Amino acid sequence: MNYIGLKAYAKINLGLDVLGTLDNGYHEVRMIMQSVDLYDKVGLRKNTDGRINVSTNLPFLPVNKDNLVYKAAALLKEEFGIKDGVDISLYKFIPVAAGLAGGSSDAAAVLRGMNRLFRLRLSVEELMERGVKIGADVPYCVMRGTALAEGIGERLTRLKRCPACKLVIGKPAVSVSTKYVYDRLILDENTKHPDIDGIIDGINNGSIYEIADRLGNVLESVTENAYPVIGELKAEMKKMGALNAIMSGSGPTVFGIFDDAEKAEACNGVLKKSGLTKTSYVVGLANGGTE
């Protein structure tokens, strides 16, 4: 095998809670992660010059060691003494700096691809252990599906499949720094924490309505205040029939949950004309996904 092509799935947070700050400066989180059927295309091809070469369809993305896909390839290449190089092609569909873990998912795809291309025989769990060295979301992006993430996001518990639904995902024409959001997050007695256990109950009960009722993201208190368009986008999705709508990750992307595909398509059509979003999509869930 000299070439492999993979899909790098985006993720959303059905619930995102921050419990506090750890001694190492990282934040302790408790999140419900869910893969969605929006993905980047990642291709890996062996080369004989020993180098890692990255190409992408977005000219503003780095193609050197500052790109997480390069870091993922370099990590395994160094650990296993791989002499051959690899050419990585990255075709981005997931919006950048959007709270959808696009970069982390791309890195996870490269870990999976390197494992198969060079026959390293690492298990999913072993790839996840290496992934945390690249970023906190990478282990989840290796595993995919529906999961509870704890710690800094690296402690993962696989959950039952989330019941089928349609999502409208909309990214406003702003970019948000995760560091900016966490640096300004205030946790005190007035903080409204999402009902993470309630979301898990909804998943276990197979009820998209219970899940939608309990959606929550503690980071909205920072990002929505800085970018009011997020609140406007949530309100428009609900107006168009979403069961609920919240921000994913540190933002600025917002998603709405729909129990009716026609309503989701109608909402997406309105958003594309509204000026509230730069990009928007109607997607389903990707429960584990395939390459």
| Residue 183 a catalytic site member | no
**230 close to 249: Cβ distance less than 8 angstroms:** no
> Looking at 137, 166, 171, 234, which residue is catalytic?
137
Is residue 198 classed as helix, strand or coil in its secondary structure? helix
Which H or E run includes 262?
A: helix 261-274
> Looking at 7, 11, 166, 234, which residue is catalytic?
11
Neighbours of 275 (CB within 10 A): 11
| Residue 160 a catalytic site member | no
Task: Give the CA distances from residue 103 to residues 4, 61, 74, 108, 241, in Å, rounded to whole numbers and listed in that order.
Answer: 19, 10, 16, 9, 31
Neighbours of 262 (CB within 10 A): 10
d(CA 246, CA 99): 12
Q: Which residue numbers are catalytic? A: 11, 137
